[in-house]
Chains A and B, each alone.
Chain A
């Protein structure tokens, strides 16, 4: 019963959508000020998830329940939940929008997001599961002085979470604005409030199930959309590409690499950020503690990689098909953006290019399917912000409060309460940031979060697992050096310095202080060099005992012996 009920509800939710899709392509598309289907489907989703939250709240008594669902999630469930965390609204709406805008570049971008997974699997997944308890800082600080390492890890986690949250909140605001005609700020407040309820009352159990249901809905919805879109082209990708090149102003150029990657340095920098950033995202790393052992942790990465890869293929099809299919709907475009069936200015799509998948849902499936996809996209944002907020709250309550401030002298009830208060505060911050960053491109903001995760969390994590010589000082200074470098360089990029802060060049266009778009190629080496240099210089007594503790850490890493107690059953 415990595991059946959410699936039963999921099936129940899919039934009306399957029936409605029968005459999907024949119905005419009319713009409605209020899409009742979307509202009803979203209300159903919210009611269902609140039910799950209530059920989860009955099981969330200990800190272990709150942070990791008591370690009782299976590999398959966790794989789906990880995929859910990863298939954010930013990737669903952002990548399909990027494909619509520049074609092949969207595929390049999505591939970068996927290739971090095998590396996580081969190098750190089981080590993390064997060494950690609730947060990745448990792993990074395993044999080191707790206060400095946990403070560093918590600060960098919070910065990553903040950037990621901005992207999600902006997506939520725009989506609901478009769909419900609500004010942007009201939409952001609704997302923030619901997310706070899920996390505060249901902890990781509710967050995981919200994530699993949403991943299931999103995969079904995207599959259906890609299927209906391909059906338009007689299931011939060649035909889909052929028509796309005649409807996009860039023509054949959309079939190959374009302007996303300007030069080798930017290409490799983005690649490094995406590949190693995945291995440093706190909300993703936290998922490895929700499974009972390393075997299940590995299975979760395998399933997650499969789901995510499949999902990116779907977003590629959706984005490409949208070029042709949206061009048949002049009402989707602003004046002058669509001329004689040719998309002259893809950015002239009403609501912006992030709305490509939503518009395509309406074009291929009518209002019923538009309602479904809109509700799913909204659910996606809710689920991802819940996971992010839980990771941020854990960094505050488990790493900053319980370990660094109270120095371990804290009972579980207090830590749990601090975690819930932190969730509440983070929710308010997320709402504030969501409103402040309304005008930013959401996919790009997530790229920045990855750069920071790759530059601060990942180097410390890897060195703590593999390098005997690392010391507390090395990790502390190296980690902060990576974080500060990444943030500083990010502020100097065109996207922030020019587009956000409004610095203009002589030609009136926004400018950056550096030509790099992504800081990873500099900030990752800075972190590793910092770790190496300050560890080597560290001749203290403590440093020697930390190096000596490596042997025991290594055995636990490799065999999992001693790790069973960590789940806290």
Chain B
């Protein structure tokens, strides 16, 4: 890539928009996943009895079962949310930057 075309891209307003939006979005979702997972791990480390509480009166199923499943499902949903926006909005922005450069 030549210095000219590099400058043309980096000085493009849509490029700045793309980079800042995606960065923000990626880190927010990363943060969410970290909070969910390490929150789960810390509960196990410090308050593991919370997860062993019966789900309802007299049940063998504990609170930990739905909580564990929710962590698995949240991982899937978060990736889905990211792909939806990245393959739509972010790729459209990238496409517009490319077209503007030509």
The chain A residues found within 8 Å of chain B, CB to CB, are 104, 107-108, 111-112, 114-115, 117-119, 121-123, 126, 237-238, 241-242, 245, 252, 255-257, 261, 263-264, 267-268, 271, 275, 295, 298-299, 301-302, 305-306, 309, 312-313, 551-552, 555-556, 558-562
Contacts and interface: CB of A to CB of B under 8 A. Distances in A.
Contacts of A313: 69, 72
Contact of B44 (A241, A267, A560): A267
A104 B50 CA distance: 13
Contact of B68 (A111, A118, A275): A111
Contacts of A268: 38, 41-42, 45
Interface in B53-99: 59-62, 64-65, 68-69, 71-73, 75-76, 78-80, 82-83, 86-87, 91, 94, 97-98
A122 B26 contact: yes
Contact of A256 (B22, B51, B98): B51
B79 A305 contact: yes
10 contacts: A104-B51, A108-B44, A126-B86, A252-B60, A257-B48, A267-B42, A302-B82, A309-B73, A559-B94, A559-B97
B10 A111 contact: no
A255 B61 contact: yes
B53 to A, nearest CB: 8
Nearest to A126: B86
Interface string B10-49: 1000010011001001110110011011101110111011
B72 A111 contact: yes
A299 B87 contact: yes
Contacts of B71: 111, 114-115
Contact of B83 (A104, A121, A309, A558): A121
B72 A309 contact: yes
B6 to A, nearest CB: 6
Interface of B is mostly: helix
B9 A117 contact: no
B75 A558 contact: no
B45 A261 contact: yes
B86 to A, nearest CB: 6
A119 B49 CA distance: 29
Contact of B75 (A242, A261, A309): A309
B45 A122 contact: no
A560 B86 CA distance: 13
Contacts, number: 152
A313 B75 CA distance: 13
B71 to A, nearest CB: 5
B69 to A, nearest CB: 7
A115 B37 contact: yes
A256 B52 contact: yes
Given A118-B30, A256-B64, A552 B1 contact: yes
Contacts of B40: 108, 111
Contact of A115 (B33, B44, B98): B33
A200 to B, nearest CB: 34
Q: Is the interface of A mostly helix, strand, loop or mixed?
A: helix
B82 A121 contact: yes
B44 A119 contact: no
B44 A558 contact: no
B60 A245 contact: yes
Contact of B27 (A117, A122, A238, A559): A122
A549 B86 CA distance: 26
B86 A119 contact: no
B33 A256 contact: no
Nearest to A253: B52
Nearest to B73: A309
Closest 5 CB pairs of A and B: A256-B52, A264-B45, A257-B48, A122-B26, A267-B45
Nearest to A264: B45
Given A241-B61, A256-B49, A271-B37, A119 B30 contact: yes
B14 to A, nearest CB: 10
Given A255-B52, A267-B45, A299-B87, 9 more contacts: A104-B62, A115-B37, A122-B26, A245-B60, A257-B48, A267-B41, A301-B79, A558-B18, A559-B15
Contacts of A312: 72
B37 A111 contact: yes
Contacts of B10: 551, 555
Given A264-B42, A551-B6, A561-B1, A118 B51 contact: no
Contacts of A271: 37-38, 41
Contacts of B78: 118, 122
Nearest to B36: A115
B79 A117 contact: yes
A298 B72 CA distance: 19
A111 B44 CA distance: 13
A256 to B, nearest CB: 3
Contacts of B64: 104, 107, 255-257
Contacts of A256: 48-49, 51-52, 62, 64
B75 to A, nearest CB: 5
Nearest to A559: B94
B68 A238 contact: no
Contacts of A238: 59-61
B61 to A, nearest CB: 5
B45 A556 contact: no
Contact of A123 (B19, B30, B46): B30
A164 to B, nearest CB: 22
